[in-house]
A and B are shown apart, each in its own frame.
Chain A
C-alpha cells in the first residue's frame, strides 16, 4: 500500500549541515554502531555464556594448582590474586582479536558496502566497531569477577576500581579489535585470518605479564613485553583490582599508552576499511 503522505517529487539539494552538527551527528552515529552490536548480542547471547569456559579453566585449574606449588614468585600476593587480572586481560584479548572475522563475514555479504555508502565518517564506523568489542569484554569482566569471588580471591571493590576496570576494558578491547580489523582488511578471507589470529594470540599472551611477573623472564623476552600492549592492560588491571599490588608503571600511564595505541590503530584501519568494498 502506498504511504498516504506523498512527498514532493521535486529534486531539492540539501544544504551542508555545518561543523557543529557534523560532530553531534558523528557521536550519534558512533553510539548507533555500538547499539547495533548490543542488539545482535541480545538476540543470541549463547556466545557470551560459552566464553565463560576459558577463564574458568585458567583460574580454577591452572590458578589453583600453581597457587599450591608456589612455583611463581608473586611477592605479597597469592598466585590467584596475581593471575586474576591477567586472565581478565587475556579474555579481553581473545574476544577482541577475532573481532575482525565479523568484518570479513560482512564483506562477503554486502553489509560493509552498505556501511561505506552511508554518510558516516570512516573513523566513526571503525571506532564504533572497535568500541563494540568492549561489550563482550564487559561480560568477560563480570564472569572473571564472579569466579574470583567464588574462589575467595581478595579484590578491591571500590568505585575507582570499577570505573578504572571499565575504562581499561574499553581501551584494551578497542586496541585489539582495531588490530584485528587491520589484519582482516589486509587478508580479506576467513581462512587466512584465522591462521594469523591463532598465530598472534599465544605470543601476545605468553610474552606478557599476564600469568607470571616479567622479573623471572630472560632479558630479551622482557624487552618484548614492553612493546606488547597486553602488558599495559594487565599492569593497569592488576593495580586497579588487587589491593597492594605494585605496577610497572602508574595505572594512568598504562591507560594512556593503551589509548594512544588504540587511537593510532583506529586511524590506520579507517584508511584500510574502505578497501573492503572495492
Chain B
C-alpha cells in the first residue's frame, strides 16, 4: 500500500526578492481531497504550478506518484490532471474534439480512445452536447468539460485551481458532486485551491492554510475547527485565526502589488 501520491519537501519558489512559496512540506494520500487555502498572494497558485511541472522550484522537491517534478517532468505529467482557473477548453471546436485532442496527446491507446471519451462525456453529463461548439456552452458545462478533459487519462492526482469560481450555486453543487464521484469511482486524489471556506469544509478531507508562502496549518477541517477551542467555530474562523483578517484586508494591496510586480519582472 502506497501511503502518499504526492509529497513535497521544503518546496520553495522565489521571484527575485519575493519568496512566493517558502519551504512548504506536505503529503497527499491516495483518494484524498486536499485543499490549499490562503488569501491572495499566499502562494497557492505558485505551489500548484510547481506541482504540475509548469514552474521549476527554486529549491526543495516535489514528487507526484514517485516522479520528481523537476527531474522527471514528462513522467510526472502522465499521472496528473490539471484544471486551471482560466478557461482551458477551446471554444472554436466541439466538446468531443476538445476531448479527442487530449486523449491523443495523453496517448490513450487507439482501441480505448472512443470508449474513454464517451465515458468522460457521460460521467460529466455532456453526452447530449458532444457535437456542440464549446463557445455555446454555459459556464458550468465548460467547467465539467474541463474536468472531463483532465480525467480521461485517469490521473493519480487531479489539480484544480479555484474549481467553482464564477459558477452559480447550481453549477457549483454539480461540480462538487462530480469531484466526490470522481474520488469514489476512480480513487483519484484531488488537490484544489479555493477562496470559499464552505467549499473547503464540504469537500476536503484535509486542508492546508498558506500564508505569505508558508504552510501555517494542516489538518482535517474538524480538527482545525476544534483547535480554536470554541464551541461553534467555523472554517472561516480558522482561516482568520491563521491568515488574519486584518492582514487580508490591510495586506492585500501590498501582497497583490508584490505578486504583480513579480509577474511583470518575469515578462
Contacts and interface: CB of A to CB of B under 8 A. Distances in A.
B107 A13 contact: no
Grouping DSSP codes into helix (H, G, I), strand (E, B) and loop, the B interface class, with mixed when no group exceeds half, is loop
Interface in A181-196: 188
Given A8-B187, A32-B101, A111 B90 contact: yes
Nearest to B96: A39
25 contacts: A3-B119, A6-B185, A7-B154, A7-B185, A16-B75, A28-B107, A32-B101, A32-B104, A39-B93, A39-B97, A43-B92, A109-B86, A110-B88, A111-B90, A114-B88, A115-B105, A117-B52, A117-B77, A118-B102, A118-B105, A118-B106, A119-B77, A121-B74, A188-B267, A274-B54
* Interface band, chain B: 35 or more
Interface in A1-22: 1-3, 5-11, 13-14, 16
Contacts of B82: 113-114, 117
Contacts, number: 120
B42 interface: no
Given A25-B107, A111-B88, A114-B84, A2 B77 contact: no
Contact of A113 (B74, B86, B92, B93): B86
B185 A3 contact: yes
Contacts of B119: 3, 5
Interface residues of A, number: 43
A277 interface: yes
A-B interface, 10 closest residue pairs, ranked by CB to CB distance from nearest = A9-B187, A110-B86, A110-B84, A110-B88, A119-B77, A32-B104, A114-B88, A117-B82, A118-B105, A119-B78
Interface of A: 1-3, 5-11, 13-14, 16, 25, 28-29, 32-33, 35-36, 39-40, 43-44, 106, 108-111, 113-121, 188, 274-275, 277-278
Contacts of A11: 2, 5, 30, 65, 156, 187
B185 A2 contact: yes
B66 interface: yes
B154 A44 contact: no
Contacts of A274: 54
A115 B156 CA distance: 18
B265 to A, nearest CB: 11
B186 interface: yes
Contacts of A116: 53-54
Interface of B: 2, 5, 30-31, 49, 52-55, 65-66, 74-75, 77-80, 82, 84-90, 92-94, 97, 101-102, 104-107, 119, 122-123, 125, 133, 149, 154, 156, 181, 184-187, 266-267
B97 A36 contact: yes
B31 A277 contact: no
Contacts of B88: 109-111, 113-114
A120 B103 CA distance: 12
Nearest to B90: A111
B191 to A, nearest CB: 13
A119 B74 contact: yes
A40 B92 CA distance: 6
Contacts of A28: 104, 107
A179 B90 CA distance: 24
B87 A110 contact: yes
A35 B187 CA distance: 33
Contact of A117 (B30, B31, B53, B125): B53
A13 B105 contact: no
A109 B104 contact: no
A11 B82 CA distance: 18
A174 to B, nearest CB: 20
A109 B88 CA distance: 6
Contact of A13 (B52, B79, B84, B186): B79
Contacts of A29: 104-105, 107
A113 to B, nearest CB: 5
